[in-house]
Amino acid sequence: MAAIPPPTPQVAVHPAVQPLSYLLGTWRGKGEGSFPTISPFKYSEELQFSHSPNKAVIAYSSKTWKLSSGEPMHSESGYWRPKLDGTIEAVIAQSTGLVEVQKGEYDAEQRRVKLKSALVGNASKVKEITRVFEMVNGELAYAVEMATDLTSLQPHLKGTLKKI
Ligand code: HEM
């Protein structure tokens, strides 16, 4: 029987991932949530972006905790699939059961990624989700907006994270 090969020690970043390689690693920070129908809230967050050598995909995960008590809040994970032409798609599964297919584009020079939902599934209220990630003064800042059956596209989350 043929031996199972060990994982290769290469760390080659796929050319499609290269323009977004500044994201790879672990980020920690804080965020604030709001929406016209809820009370505002604050949270801490850890984000991870990782890749496998020579694969044109970035694995993404986020965990959040209530800032005041450390109690776990929302979490989500998925895959970001950047293309060499500057477009990107992402699939994200949320701890609430909601799933998203996001499509958009990135600007490697500005270090900005803009995503808009092409599909939101298994959601009771959410109709649309947009996400923008950008580097601002060496920190990763993001904003999430959503539309529900009762409310048009409005800010829900805003976070700023530092790479650790
Ligand atoms: C409320 C969706 C991320 C914390 C909500 C609501 C929806 C929603 C639909 C109810 C709004 C309403 O009743 O009108 C989403 C989506 C997210 C997301 C689509 C990601 C794209 C998060 C994250 C956190 C969070 C990361 C925590 C850090 C909350 C809280 C409420 C809320 C605390 C209020 C709950 C309540 O008052 O019952 N969210 N959420 N959400 N969300 Fe999110």
Residues 118-158: tens digit of each pLDDT: 999 999 999 999 999 999 999 999 999 999 999 999 999 99
Distance of CA 164 from the midpoint of ligand 1 (Å): 26
Mean predicted confidence (pLDDT) in 53-67 = 97
Q: Which atom of ligand 1 is nearest to the CA of 62?
A: 26
**Contact status, residue 26 vs residue 163, Cβ threshold 8 Å:** yes
pTM value? Answer: 0.94
Closest ligand 1 atom to the C-alpha of 131?
21
Indicate whether residue 152 lines ligand 1 (CB < 6 A). no
Q: Which atom of ligand 1 is nearest to the CA of 123?
A: 9
pLDDT digits (tens, 9 = 90+) for 77-91: 999 999 999 999 999
Residue 137 burial class via C-beta count within 10 angstroms: exposed 0-12, middle 13-18, buried 19 and up: exposed
| One-character DSSP codes across 42-55 | EEEEEEEEEE-TT-
Q: Across all residues in the chain, what is the average pLDDT?
A: 95
Residues present in the chain in total: 164
Closest among 12, 64, 63 to 41, alpha carbons compared: 64
Asked whether the beta carbons of 91 and 98 are under 8 A apart, the reply is no
Is the beta carbon of 79 within 6 A of some atom in ligand 1?
A: no
- ipTM above threshold 0.90: yes
Average pLDDT over residues 27-35: 98
